[in-house]
Amino acid sequence: MLARIFSSAVIGIDAYIIEVEVDLTNGLPSFATVGLPEAAVKESKERVKSAIQNSGYSFPDDRITVNLAPANIKKEGTGFDLPIALGILTATRLIVQERVDGFLVLGELALDGRIKPVNGSLPMAIAARAAGYRGILVPYENRLEASVISDLDVIPVQNLSQAIEYLRGNQNIEPVRTDIDPLFRRQDPYGVDFGEVMGQEYAKRALEIAASGAHNVIMVGPPGSGKTMLAKRLPTILPPLGFEEAIETTKIFSVAGMLPKDQALITTRPFRSPHHTISDAGLIGGGHYPRPGEVSIATNGVLFLDELPEFKKHVLEVLRQPLEDEKVTISRASMAITYPARFMLVAAMNPCPCGYLSDPKHECKCSAHQIQRYRSRISGPLIDRIDIHIEVPAVPYKKLMGAGFDAETSDAIRSRVCKARAIQQERFRSSSIHCNAHMGSRLIRKHCRLDAEGVSLMEGAIDRLGLSARAFNRVLKIARTIADLDGTTNIEADHVFEAIQYRTLDRSNNK
């Protein structure tokens, strides 16, 4: 007696179809799982047997063989419990094979038959629709994320008995539907606003430029000057997430097991701020069976690294590749998994170990050697990959109290950012990029041409600051973004001059 149940597994953030074949034959009672199952999959036989018996059904006293195809890919996780259980009961003819053929099935079983949630149900629902299945049986707690996929019946099941009776036609379960539009109309999704930041006009201007062109930023300033406050408000001026971006972000959160149970879709840009003790695997991703790291979880959002020099140097160095390629490939002996890593990097640091270098109100007690050693924790190649360097000085008392000062709100800044992004989308409509920060050398030559005055300014900056070729290109891309904010087609000398001002660390390194 042979039965087939279709399930799914995830590699990276994309799912693929798994065919669960269950064969019952005469012989001594046994239960064997083949098809490169990992430990959690092998252990499923004990959960499946107890769940079937505790749900009031008979477990067959036969030789049971479960094959997970394709057999050349390792199967990991507990999501195969429910398909294996339904496969066994289909092989015993309790369930008719034709009833399960149109469904993808996933779920972990408790010993009493309850169905527990699994990671990655959104990419699995996408795979089910792409493969032409009419529906997907999911754990009840996974119903919302799976139901954002249209043209697919999402059937939530809470226990094994409910799943069996539904497939036998004895119980009706209404498919779950989610209206996407209200999810994108949430009011004040971030809870913070740039209007709360007193002073720091120079830093806010730099962050507006960064948001307009998706440029990476590093802020240098004394403790308490507002670097963290500014960074946390950067997502509030970024353009709203589009549907495709929201799906990609939600897939990553789903695979990582970080999607809230009551949330169908991530509709706000992520803001990730890992502690400086994080490992390279935690930042980039990895593990025995690779999982996404912070750079991937921050995709379509902001990765904030506070106290940048306090991070381990080898951890910072692994940022180079994702900053350039916008993806991370984690290689193992049996597989290579690629995760997206398209994020804005925002870093913050003190100017010296004590934090008070150039602060007029506090005396810096660091020696030149201590300052040099502190800054050398951040390598030149990494600094080169950060477009905008800005100083964030301490805020004067009057501005801190807001006397006679009306700070601009995030909504006002975001409107300008969106206009600049619209110009860039039109500019790059025939290419695979969307923002100025992602331009390669060919596009820089095409879209970042300078007039004679601009060329003269750049020559002087290169001579004075000793800019590398990469830093030179960064300045050109920043100038292009400033021109887009001004709504001008050509890059003018004023744009170049302002762009050069955002290379603070280049200036300090050449004093």
Which amino acid, 228?
A: T
- Mean pLDDT rounded to a whole number for the chain: 91
Cis preceding linkage at 240, omega within 30: no
Within this chain, do residues 416 and 466 fall inside the same structural domain, yes or no?
A: no
pLDDT of residue 509: 56
Within this chain, do residues 417 and 502 fall inside the same structural domain, yes or no?
A: no
Q: What does the alpha-carbon distance between residue 74 and residue 18 come to, in Å, rounded to a whole number?
A: 11
Within this chain, do residues 137 and 239 fall inside the same structural domain, yes or no?
A: no
Q: What does the alpha-carbon distance between residue 475 and residue 439 come to, in Å, rounded to a whole number?
A: 12
CB 246 within 8 A of CB 266: yes
Element of type H or E holding 30: strand 30-34
Write out pLDDT tens, residues 314-329.
Answer: 999 999 999 989 999 9
Within this chain, do residues 353 and 483 fall inside the same structural domain, yes or no?
A: no
Within this chain, do residues 209 and 316 fall inside the same structural domain, yes or no?
A: yes
Indicate if the pLDDT at residue 187 is higher than 70.
Answer: no
Residue 393's domain comprises: 194-428
CB 295 within 8 A of CB 329: no
Within this chain, do residues 317 and 406 fall inside the same structural domain, yes or no?
A: yes
Within this chain, do residues 310 and 389 fall inside the same structural domain, yes or no?
A: yes
Confidence band for 399, pLDDT divided at 50, 70 and 90: low
Which range has the worst mean pLDDT, 177-181, 188-192, 236-240, 391-395?
188-192
Cβ neighbors of 271 (< 8 A, separation 6 or more) are 232, 234, 235, 298, 301, 302, 304
Task: Note whether residue 83 is domain-resident.
Answer: yes
Distances (CA, A) of 309 to 193, 281, 305, 355, 459: 28, 18, 9, 12, 31
pLDDT of residue 401: 65
Alpha-helical runs (H) found in 168-226: 201-213
pLDDT of residue 290: 84
Stated pTM of the model: 0.91
Domain end among 377, 395, 428: 428
Within this chain, do residues 345 and 465 fall inside the same structural domain, yes or no?
A: no
Task: Note whether residue 223 is domain-resident.
Answer: yes
Average the pLDDT over 170-187 and give the result: 87
Q: CATH number of the domain that 337 lies in?
A: 3.40.50.300
Indicate if the pLDDT at residue 396 is higher than 80.
Answer: no
Longest CA span, the chain? 88
Within this chain, do residues 456 and 336 fall inside the same structural domain, yes or no?
A: no
Q: What does the alpha-carbon distance between residue 210 and residue 217 come to, in Å, rounded to a whole number?
A: 7
Task: Note whether residue 52 is domain-resident.
Answer: yes
pLDDT of residue 404: 47
Within this chain, do residues 228 and 133 fall inside the same structural domain, yes or no?
A: no
Write out pLDDT tens, residues 266-317.
Answer: 999 999 999 999 999 999 998 777 889 999 999 999 999 999 999 999 999 9
Task: Note whether residue 322 is domain-resident.
Answer: yes
Pull the structure tokens for residue 184: 């994108």
Within this chain, do residues 69 and 133 fall inside the same structural domain, yes or no?
A: yes
Overall domain count for the chain: 3
271 beta partners? 302
Write out pLDDT tens, residues 450-480.
Answer: 989 989 988 888 888 777 777 888 999 999 9
